[in-house]
C-alpha cells in the first residue's frame, strides 16, 4: 500500500460543477467551485481541492487523497435516483455529477470520512442514505424557499429552529436563528441513520440532517458558505484534522507491517 505524504492542514475535497466557462480567448468545458466555498474551508484551517466528476464506480483512489468531503450547491438531483419519476417542476439536472457525488457520499458514510453537504449537498447525502426528496416544495405545501433568485443576502433570509442537542447545535447554531434560502426542492423521507436537527420557520421544511453514528456527517439546506458560518466550517475541518491525525498515527505501524 502506498502512503501519501501528509499535509499539516487537512485536505478538503469539494465536488466540482460541470459547466462551460469563458476566460481569455477561450470558451471550453470546465469544472468549477465558487470561491466562497474555497475561502470558507481555508479560513477554517483546511486546504481545499476540487474533485472533478469522474467515473463513479469506485471513488476510493480519489478520496484516499482527502481528509474530508464538501458537497456544494447546484441544480436538481435526477428523480429516478431516489425512485421517482420526474415531474413538470423538475429543473436542470446533470446525471454525471449526481452519480459521482452519490458515490463519494456513500464512500464517506462507509469509511467515516467527515462530510458536509450544503443545499443540494444535503439532498445528495439524503439520497445516498436511501432517502427521498420533494421535487417542488410549493407543491408539497411548503413556503417559497427561493424568494430572491441569484441572491443570498437578507432578501433570502428566513427563520430557523435548531435542536440544541445536535452536532449543528454544538457548531454554534443552537436554538433559533436566521439563514438564507435558495432552493425549490427539499428533504422528504429522511435517509437511513439520519436525524432532522433543524426546520424552517414557519413552514417546518427540513433544513438540516445529521448522521450521529458518523465522525461528522451533516447536511444543511441553506448556503452556510455565503456569508460563511465559521462554527459549521470549523467543526467540519476539525473533524477532518482529527481523521488526518488518526491516520498519521497509524502509518508507522502500517509501514512496518509492509516491510
Residues ≥6 apart with Cβ < 8 Å to 156 = 146, 147, 148, 180, 181, 182
- For residue 6, how many other CB atoms are within 10 A of its CB? 13
* Dihedral pair phi/psi, residue 182, rounded to 5°: -155, 65
- CA separation for the pair 107, 127 (Å, rounded): 13
Number of H helices, E strands in the chain: 6, 13
**Cα 249 off chain centre by:** 27
Angular region, 126: left φ>0, alpha ψ -120 to 50, beta rest: alpha
Annotation marks residue 134 as catalytic: no
Choosing from 101, 207, 210, 225, which is the catalytic residue? 225
* Dihedral pair phi/psi, residue 249, rounded to 5°: -65, -30
- Do 208 and 198 touch, CB atoms closer than 8 A? yes
Choosing from 145, 183, 184, 223, which is the catalytic residue? 223
Annotation marks residue 183 as catalytic: no
Annotation marks residue 223 as catalytic: yes
Parallel, antiparallel, or unpaired for β 68-71 and 158-162? unpaired
Choosing from 78, 119, 171, 199, which is the catalytic residue? 119
Q: Which residues are catalytic?
A: 119, 223, 225
Amino acid at each position: 500500500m502506498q502512503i501519501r505524504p501528509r499535509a499539516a492542514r487537512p485536505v478538503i475535497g469539494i465536488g466540482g460543477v460541470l459547466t462551460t466557462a469563458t476566460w481569455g480567448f477561450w470558451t471550453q468545458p470546465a469544472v468549477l467551485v465558487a470561491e466562497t466555498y474555497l475561502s470558507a474551508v481555508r479560513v477554517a484551517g483546511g486546504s481545499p481541492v476540487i474533485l472533478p466528476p469522474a467515473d463513479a464506480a469506485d471513488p476510493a483512489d480519489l478520496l484516499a487523497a482527502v481528509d474530508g468531503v464538501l458537497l456544494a450547491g447546484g441544480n436538481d438531483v435526477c428523480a429516478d435516483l431516489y425512485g421517482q419519476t420526474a415531474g413538470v417542476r423538475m429543473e436542470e439536472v446533470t446525471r454525471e455529477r449526481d452519480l459521482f457525488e452519490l458515490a463519494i457520499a456513500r464512500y464517506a458514510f462507509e469509511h467515516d470520512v467527515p462530510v458536509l453537504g450544503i443545499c443540494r449537498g444535503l439532498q445528495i447525502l439524503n439520497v445516498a442514505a436511501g432517502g427521498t426528496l420533494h421535487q417542488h416544495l410549493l407543491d408539497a405545501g411548503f413556503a417559497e424557499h427561493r424568494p430572491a433568485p441569484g441572491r443570498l443576502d437578507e432578501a433570502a433570509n428566513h427563520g430557523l429552529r435548531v435542536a440544541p442537542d445536535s452536532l449543528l447545535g454544538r457548531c454554534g447554531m443552537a436554538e433559533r436563528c436566521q439563514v438564507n434560502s435558495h432552493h425549490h426542492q427539499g428533504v422528504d423521507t429522511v435517509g437511513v441513520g439520519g436525524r432532522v436537527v433543524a426546520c424552517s420557520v414557519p413552514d417546518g421544511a427540513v433544513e438540516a440532517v445529521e448522521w450521529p453514528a458518523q465522525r461528522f456527517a451533516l447536511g444543511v439546506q441553506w448556503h452556510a458558505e455565503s456569508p460563511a458560518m465559521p462554527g459549521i466550517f470549523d467543526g467540519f475541518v476539525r473533524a477532518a484534522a482529527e481523521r488526518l491525525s488518526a491516520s498519521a498515527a497509524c502509518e508507522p505501524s502500517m509501514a512496518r507491517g509492509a516491510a
